[in-house]
Chains A and B, each alone.
Chain A
Amino acid sequence: MRHYEAVVIGGGPAGMMGSITLGGKDVKTLLLDENDVLGGQLVKQTHKFFGDHAHYASVRGFEIAQKLQEEMAKDPNIKVETSATVIGVYPNNLIVYAKDGKEFKVTYKKLLIATGAMEKQLPFINSDLPGVYGAGAVQTLMNEYGVMPGKRFLIVGSGNIGLILAYQLIQAGAEVRGIVEALGKIGGYEVHAKKIKRLGVPILLNHTIVKAIGDESVSGAVIAKIDEHFKPIPGTEEEKVVDTICVSVGLTPLSELAEQAGCKIEYIPQLGGYVPIRNERMQTSNPDVFIAGDLSSIEEATTAMIEGKIAALEMAHNLKSTDVENEINDEIQTLSLFRSGPKSEKIRIGLEKFGINVKPVPEIERHGVQIGPQGKLRAIIDCTEEIPCNSCEAVCPFGAIHIGENLNSTPVVDYDKCNGCATCVIACPGLAIHMLKEDVENSTALVGIPYELLPLPEKGQKMWALDEDGNYICDAIVKKIAKYPNKTNIIYVEVPLEFSQKVLSVEFPKRESPFVCRCEEVTLDEIERVIDSGITDFEEIKRLTRVTMGPCGGKNCKLVVLGILSRKTGVPISKLSHGTSRPPVKPVEFSLFTKRDDSK
């Protein structure tokens, strides 16, 4: 049996940072993780993380894991065992784990448990049907194995995980038919929600899934509106044709090993469920056992890493009387700052039950979207919700963006200093920044949109410009594609000036919609989008789409268009103005008009 000064169970951000810190303090450490690669949740996160620039903000999740791993590999004090599943913690500081079909035992002086969390279940009819997956499972399949388990998805739950999953599914080429959310508001960050709304994913609030349809595999889902007691309202059921359902209704800490290690456990719903009681330095009721990360409270990678560091520092102090006082206090202060914003209220309430008090910041500077000086190429930041993130401020080479010491504040741009370099657009984890430059003389505007999808369009290509809900608003001509190493590219498109402040997304023109106007090749979809944007006058629709204005003069499509208009507006065709008919009613040669013969 081997003996270590410190053993760490779980190689997610908390356990990795804990190991790095322990190793740095000369503590002989063993890290055990069940997976064959380290990183925990980070491995399947393709998006850039929020947070403090000093703590890997703007770096994609899987890349944070790689960086931490590189750091660990350099330290001979750290021994790593992957594919090592800890099956029990026993008295006398004994750990048993399974690896390669064999049982291993190790003992420790101090133990850090950072086993993270697992997804909560949501029982609904047929929720056990194959094709209903936990959101994390789909992330694992997609982002670790490159396997796409379905074509059309419904997501249950609009927390950050559900929102990010929707985005990742679209990136991998799937279709997301919608997200249902039982509460009256979106659970996750506003910027994550906006990112998928402008790609056309509807988020249905006060809705739940009633049942999954299918015999041996999902072929549909019934959703319904719910009342204030979360009961489905009869008559509001609706079937969604999907082949895959993803459940993302929150995480709950994996506290069994901590319990076996003699840590007192308490049920604190604000922290995610059963959590070990611990002090500010992450020490549990068993003085030899420390915890960190999602096991202590369902939060973020950033807070997980800081907690891992705090726990490790205190462990090193316990083991070697190393002086860590200043370092620990600094980390505790950073952690408080992360938790001081309005989005962390639940965590603060939960922690208070352990006697850990985090003060909310009394007054957070809140700013709306600034538009800036017309005509100048500049960054427009749509980030109005207080979340702990400062990557835009940190990367701006001109010091044009201010967030300040409290990273929950929202950014303010000094447009005298902004020179249109777009560095912030690339860095922003929320993809909440775009570029804008109006050209009043030519009545156009250049809009630069962050784009993380494939394929990329080509210069000169026509695309559809979309608004914040993914609705078509106008055509857009691609002027430039700026590619960046971090794979957030920017597509610069030209749009009519009047739409300059509405355009937030682009997509390739859809082809699967039926063609209504054969002459001008206008699809049903295009006509409906114009009507949806609020235009219901037939003449106006004609001018915007060119329907009925081709060589046939509307003989083919006029009635169809009026039918669509009538269906969408509820006004009978007989009451609609059907426009003016102008000669010629049949196509004739232009030369005809110059060869007039008035003799007859």
Chain B
Amino acid sequence: MEGRIKAHPILEFRRGKRVKFYFEDREIEAYEGETVAAALQANGIRVLRYTPHTNRPAGLFCAVGKCSSCLMEIDNVPNVRSCMTKVKEGMHVRRQNKRGDVL
């Protein structure tokens, strides 16, 4: 798969089972155990949302749940930190527009 490190001099990547999820209705391949944000970066998808005031594209920044730059709509729930959410088979992920509606 694109964007994934194949051979590494120090690390061995023990990737989990292959799973499929949907990003804007497009099928994305990922491995169990990785986060939504990581799987999207591996597939070359960087724009994760558009900002509330100026409608600018925003992407992953800290990857450890601190900065909230990667908020997405996951299975219809807005404002989810995609860097802290593991992929699940059949999950639906969308770019978040603005603030997201309160459910």
A-side interface residues toward B, CB under 8 Å?
A: 34-36, 46, 60, 62, 85, 118-119, 128-134, 136-138, 140-149, 171-173, 216-217, 254, 452-455, 487
Sample of 19 further A-B pairs with CB below 8 A, known A118-B64, A147-B42, A216-B46: A46-B11, A128-B58, A130-B48, A131-B46, A132-B59, A133-B61, A134-B67, A136-B63, A140-B63, A141-B60, A145-B34, A145-B42, A146-B5, A147-B38, A148-B3, A148-B4, A216-B47, A217-B47, A453-B9
Contact A147 B34 (CB under 8 A): yes
Contact B4 A452 (CB under 8 A): no
Given the complex of chains A and B, what is the CA–CA distance between A138 and B42 in angstroms? 12
**Distance to closest chain A CB from B54 (angstroms):** 9
Given the complex of chains A and B, what is the CA–CA distance between A5 and B98 in angstroms? 44
Contact B65 A137 (CB under 8 A): no
Given the complex of chains A and B, what is the CA–CA distance between A143 and B56 in angstroms? 29
Is B102 an interface position by the 8 A CB rule? no
Is B35 an interface position by the 8 A CB rule? yes
Known: A146-B15, A148-B5, A172-B5. A141 touches B63 (CB 8 A): yes
**What are 28 of the A-B contact pairs (CB < 8 Å)?**
A34-B65, A46-B11, A62-B11, A118-B67, A128-B58, A130-B48, A131-B59, A134-B67, A137-B62, A138-B63, A140-B63, A142-B5, A143-B11, A146-B13, A147-B3, A147-B5, A147-B39, A147-B41, A149-B46, A149-B60, A171-B9, A172-B8, A173-B5, A452-B9, A452-B10, A454-B8, A454-B9, A455-B7
Contact A171 B60 (CB under 8 A): no
Given the complex of chains A and B, what is the CA–CA distance between A128 and B3 in angstroms? 22
Most buried by A among B3, B35, B64: B64
Is B66 an interface position by the 8 A CB rule? yes
Contact B62 A118 (CB under 8 A): yes
Q: Which residues of A contact B63 (CB under 8 A)?
A: 133-134, 136-138, 140-141
Known: A130-B47, A454-B9. A149 touches B41 (CB 8 A): yes
Is B57 an interface position by the 8 A CB rule? yes
Contact B8 A130 (CB under 8 A): no
Closest 7 CB pairs of A and B: A130-B59, A137-B63, A130-B46, A146-B13, A145-B38, A140-B63, A147-B42
B41 interface neighbour in A141, A143, A216, Cβ under 8 Å: A141
Given the complex of chains A and B, what is the CA–CA distance between A487 and B41 in angstroms? 28
Contact B65 A130 (CB under 8 A): no
Most buried by A among B51, B61, B67: B61
Is B84 an interface position by the 8 A CB rule? yes
Given the complex of chains A and B, what is the CA–CA distance between A455 and B6 in angstroms? 12
Given the complex of chains A and B, what is the CA–CA distance between A130 and B63 in angstroms? 13
Given the complex of chains A and B, what is the CA–CA distance between A46 and B8 in angstroms? 11
**Beta-carbon nearest neighbor of A456 in chain B:** B9
Most buried by B among A35, A36, A149: A149
**Beta-carbon nearest neighbor of A144 in chain B:** B38
Q: Which residues of B contact A85 (CB under 8 A)?
A: 65
**Distance to closest chain A CB from B78 (angstroms):** 15
